[in-house]
Amino acid sequence: MLTLLTVITQEISHASPASERNAALAQAAGRGRVSEMRELLEQGASPNARDRWGETALFLAAQQGSAEGVSLLIAAGAQARRANAPSGATPLMGAAEARCVACFDAILAAGGQLLGRDSQGRSLIHHLLSGSPYVVGSVADRDGLLERVRAEFRARPGRYRGRDLFTAIKEGGSLELIGEIIANGVSVETREPDLQYTPVIVAARACRADAVRDLLERGANVAKRDTFGSSALGAALSGVRVRDWAQCSAEIVGLVADAFSSSTAARYNVYDLIDAVDLSPDWALVRAILDDGVNVNARAHSGESALHEAARRGRTDFARRLLDAGARVNAMDSLGMTPLMEAVTASSVELVRELLARGANLRLRHSFFRTTAAECARSRITQLDSLSGWSRPENWAELRADAELILTLVTP
């Protein structure tokens, strides 16, 4: 059997001298080794050489911020518009990522396009704002290059796209840039193609309270939802448990909640209720959603209710309040899971006791596994016992004791 080293050695030995030189040139460009590049070009390497991932030598030199390497390749005949395959990134985008003004100017003079886009539809705005590990220019260099790109967009109305708006929001673009993109025809309700995020959802997920406020003032509909049914409220709440984002997320939750309450068209729904039960630090938001007309027993597509979510998270106080509001204690989701089964799996003794006191049925079975709450408890004990060494949490003994107690509580 051939070893991997043997195969690689054979591949190298079978490669033509020209392809070897081209590969070496791309590698040297990617490492900023100008003297090696010059030598390889003199030996006949193509200035349009690519590496094994399809990136051109000119792109690699520009991404490294090697102005000398860029000039050398262009003088040798490198094509400024030749894009990487399959990413579609152009040499000018590599220069933008490095914030290399000299590289940018040289490629632009050689025919680079300011309004070009890569295979994902991303413009130079994305590459300038996101940067790369090889940044050589300053923030001032980035801002100067960004203004030149924006001037070209302004001179060619209708060239901005939704992707530019999402980039500006996610990558820390200014409110002025966000406003300019919207003013040039990009809707505040445009959607990301994959998960159907709206700009205000993206701003909430990026913890940009300034952008959320700006978009809402521009008329963004706070009730627009992504593929999973979540609104900007769910996006904002997702950052509440992240230490560095807690304050920002709380501000955004307030902005979004105010937008819901002040709008006659935007209404909460069951996904907002479930997100609030899952992530809200206090009951007030949940109460506001219920007061807005969302049924406490409303179901998501998976069949789960707000009480299921409270049980899954072990939020006894929320579960108690939901039950007081009329939540059905024996509600079953699409798989037959009950709130009691969720509480058992979460090892929440207090919540198990609360649900039993409210009439939870011990004999209901999971639709697929045909398990009762007692069998869920035994499975939880088995799961805890399977943990060993580093995989055991510090409170393992407490969890194990709780699981044993729960088993006695839910055994008929």
Q: Which residue has the tokens 């399809």?
A: 54
DSSP 248-262: HHHHHHHHHHHHHHH
Model pLDDT, residue 368: 76
- What is the spatial distance between Cα 153 and Cα 145, in angstroms, rounded to a whole number? 13
Torsion sign, CA atoms 159, 162, 167, 170: positive
**Domain residue spans of the chain:** 16-114, 156-294, 302-412
pLDDT tens figures, 263-299:
888 899 999 999 999 999 889 999 999 999 999 999 9
79 exposure class (CB count in 10 Å sphere: 0-12, 13-18, 19+): middle
Query: How confident is the model over 312-332, as a mean pLDDT?
Result: 97
Q: Which fold has domain 156-294?
A: 1.25.40
Cα 83 from chain centre: 26
Q: With cut-offs at 50, 70 and 90, classify the pLDDT of residue 3.
A: low
Query: Across the chain, what does the average pLDDT equal?
Result: 92
- pLDDT class of 317 with cuts at 50, 70, 90: very high
Residue 17's pLDDT is: 80
Residues in the chain: 412
Helix then strand count (H, E) for the chain reads: 23, 0
- What pLDDT sits at residue 241? 58
**Cα separations in angstroms, 85 against 49, 50, 62, 119, 339:** 12, 9, 16, 9, 51
Q: What is the mean pLDDT of residues 180-185?
A: 96
d(CA 374, CA 411): 5
Interval 232-253 mean pLDDT: 79
pLDDT of residue 13: 46
193-236, pLDDT tens digit by residue?
Answer: 999 999 999 999 999 999 999 999 999 999 999 999 999 999 99
Residue written as tokens 């007309």? Answer: 293
Distance CA 282, CA 369 (A): 35
- Banded pLDDT at 247 (limits 50, 70, 90): confident
> What's the Cα-to-Cα distance from 186 to each of 68, 111, 191, rounded to whole Å?
39, 28, 10
* Cα 131 from Cα 217, distance rounded (Å): 30
pLDDT at 325 over 60: yes
Alpha helices in 223-372 (DSSP H): 232-237, 246-262, 270-279, 283-291, 306-312, 316-324, 339-345, 349-357
How high is the pLDDT of residue 171? 94
User: Once rounded to an integer, what is the mean pLDDT over residues 316-338?
Assistant: 96
Q: What is the pLDDT of residue 398?
A: 94
CA dihedral 159, 162, 163, 165 (to 10 degrees): 100
Task: Tell me whether the CATH fold assigned to 16-114 matches the one assigned to 302-412.
Answer: yes
Burial 181-209 (b: 16+ CB within 10 A, else e): bbebebebebbbeeeebbbbbbbbbbbbb
AA letter at 51: D
> How deeply is 355 buried, as exposed, middle or buried, from its count of CB atoms within 10 A (0-12, 13-18, 19+)?
buried
Give the whole-angstrom CA distance, residue 372 versus residue 132. Answer: 53
User: Are the C-beta atoms of residues 310 and 277 closer than 8 Å to each other?
Assistant: yes
Q: What is the pLDDT of residue 243?
A: 53
Compute φ and ψ for 43, nearest 5 degrees: -85, -5
Strand partners, 56: 50
Q: What is the CATH number of domain 16-114?
A: 1.25.40.20
On the 0-12 / 13-18 / 19+ scale of CB atoms within 10 A, 13 is exposed
Give the mean model confidence (pLDDT) for residues 113-125: 96
Q: How far apart are CA 274 and CA 345, in angstroms?
A: 19
- Structure tokens of 181? 């993109």
pTM given for the model: 0.85
Nearest to 325 by CA among 354, 286, 355, 352: 286
Taking CA atoms, 189 is separated from 143, 163, 198, 199, in Å, by 27, 12, 6, 7
CA distance 102 to 87: 24
Residue 7 is predicted with a pLDDT of 44
Work out the average pLDDT over 52-59.
96
Res 245 pLDDT > 70: no
For 302-412, give the CATH class: mainly alpha
Cα–Cα nearest to 287, from 244, 321, 337, 331: 321
Least reliable range by pLDDT among 6-15, 69-78, 167-176, 313-322: 6-15
Q: For residues 123 and 145, what is the distance between their CA atoms, to the nearest angstrom?
A: 13
